A and B are shown apart, each in its own frame.
Chain A
Amino acid sequence: MKSELKTTPFNDLHIENGATMMAFAGYNMPLNYTFGILKEHQHTRTQAGLFDISHMGQVLIRSQSWSALAQQFEKLVPQDVLNLADGRQRYGFLTTDTGGILDDIIFARRKETLFVVINAANKTVVIRHLRDQLQPACCVSECKDRALIALQGPKAEFELSKMNQKVVGMQFMDNRSVELNGMPVWISRSGYTGEDGYEISMPLDVSQSLVRALIARESVQLIGLGARDSLRLEAGFCLHGHDIDVDISPVEASLSWAIPKVRRKNGERGGAFRGESIILGQLINGVSRQRVGLMPNGRSLMRAGVTLYANEKDCHSVGRITSGGFGPTIEKPVAMGMVNTAYAKPGTGLFGDVRGKRLPVTVATLPFVVANIKRDQNQRIRS
């Protein structure tokens, strides 16, 4: 089986650095390096962590004009694409006809083109969907010649500024073309750890030297997928295939914040996206279940799949854990789950079935660790 796994351009680098490798979304990926998951997590929260995320899909979409492109793409997402300024990006999701989430994405406007980053596990399905829905009005091309990394943590700005001072001026969700070490890259100020940092898309031929130059810097360490998962969980971010999927709507997923007024009912370009009647209806009428944060009261972890109950005896479940583990920064077990709306209020006490025992767990406000991001006062106007 192992030989069938795909590798990223940094496979040798992972192995040189003592990575424990694992299969993830069909790729051979680093679970952790010699440091271990806990220390890698802490390093990212206090210094700078470098993540190979080249397994994720990078897609460029072009059309005759930005407005033509936006008009087409808005049929697939309930976000505002048209008014996205050049050099800005947004979080969004591709919806299904039944109101579910096909994938959650980052989309950036780079001049007249749209640059989309999609989840590794959904690459094939999403690219087929984009081509089916957007061609021939738009041209959809996968950037197979580009690597993708994330540099995350409070020292990310300082370390990257040593390669190009321009990165300092970037705000959260800015997306620019800059040179790092004299090499052209597409860089955004964003990430999925809850820390300030950058995601850098670069041509394969410059990727090795750039990444090696970055990890040679004092505060930069390679970080594996194990810590990436605990970091995003503490930050309250969804993992597609676990917390969200084609059977969970954005409203159920507590992602309504990402659906702007302009795309809601009576909005200027309200509706006219896949699953609109279900999703817009839910925004008005509410939902019967909701994604919430969950904090186990004891020390036992509650991982994905744990069934939740309202009390110690009831045999009807009221939800289940969709992601769970240990939160190294808050030094406690943390989890997310889907629960019946009646039990979704923060502070609600529930019970999780762990190895046949019902252990107490409390509905908690997300995130567990408040995001440390770079935002200025003009952010609202500029986005």
Chain B
Amino acid sequence: MKYTEEHEWLTEIENMVVVGITAYAAEQLGDVVFVELPAIGTTVAKDDEIVVIESVKAASDILSPLDGEIIEVNNAIVESPALVNEDPEGDGWFFKIMPSNRLQLDDLMNLSEYQQLIG
């Protein structure tokens, strides 16, 4: 797994990359009550604001960690946003992206680097 400074996790499955938010981020956000995901087929650039996530405390944007195309989104979290808190690094995933520049993956943190970030 790879990690971003925005507290996203990324896992490569075949050619695609699955993206979600870390358990640490979910805990910090508090109870998630609304998620808006991008449309399938959207072409995105790294750092585009592509997901809106609202918790009882505040609204936040999730940035695209990579350039690429959105291949699949997890409608289960739109239906039941609590999944993001219950299983952030499993069933609470956000979207799958087909990266157009795989080199961007090399710039991301590994687990020990991420753990250092969150202290």
Contacts and interface: CB of A to CB of B under 8 A. Distances in A.
7 contacts: A299-B33, A301-B34, A325-B56, A326-B33, A328-B56, A333-B33, A333-B34
Interface in A299-318: 299-301, 303
A301 B54 contact: yes
The interface size bin for chain B is: 10 to 19
A39 B34 CA distance: 16
A37 B56 contact: yes
Contacts of B39: none
B52 A230 contact: no
Given A300-B36, A301-B34, A326-B33, A38 B56 contact: yes
A5 B101 CA distance: 48
Query: Which of A36, A303, A328 is the most central at the interface, judged by chain B CB atoms within 10 Å of its CB?
Result: A36
B31 interface: yes
Nearest to B27: A36
Secondary structure class of chain A's binding surface, majority of residues: mixed
Nearest to B78: A299
Contacts of A38: 31, 33, 56
A226 interface: yes
Contact of B57 (A31, A300, A328, A355): A31
A233 to B, nearest CB: 11
Secondary structure class of chain B's binding surface, majority of residues: strand
The interface size bin for chain A is: 10 to 19
Interface of B: 30-31, 33-34, 36, 52, 54, 56-57, 59
A119 interface: no
A300 B34 contact: yes
Contacts of B34: 299-301, 326, 333
A190 interface: no
Contacts of B31: 36-39
A38 B57 CA distance: 10
Nearest to A301: B54
A231 to B, nearest CB: 12
Interface string A24-39: 0000000110001111
Interface in A278-332: 299-301, 303, 325-326, 328
A301 B36 CA distance: 11
Interface string A84-110: 000000000000000000000000000
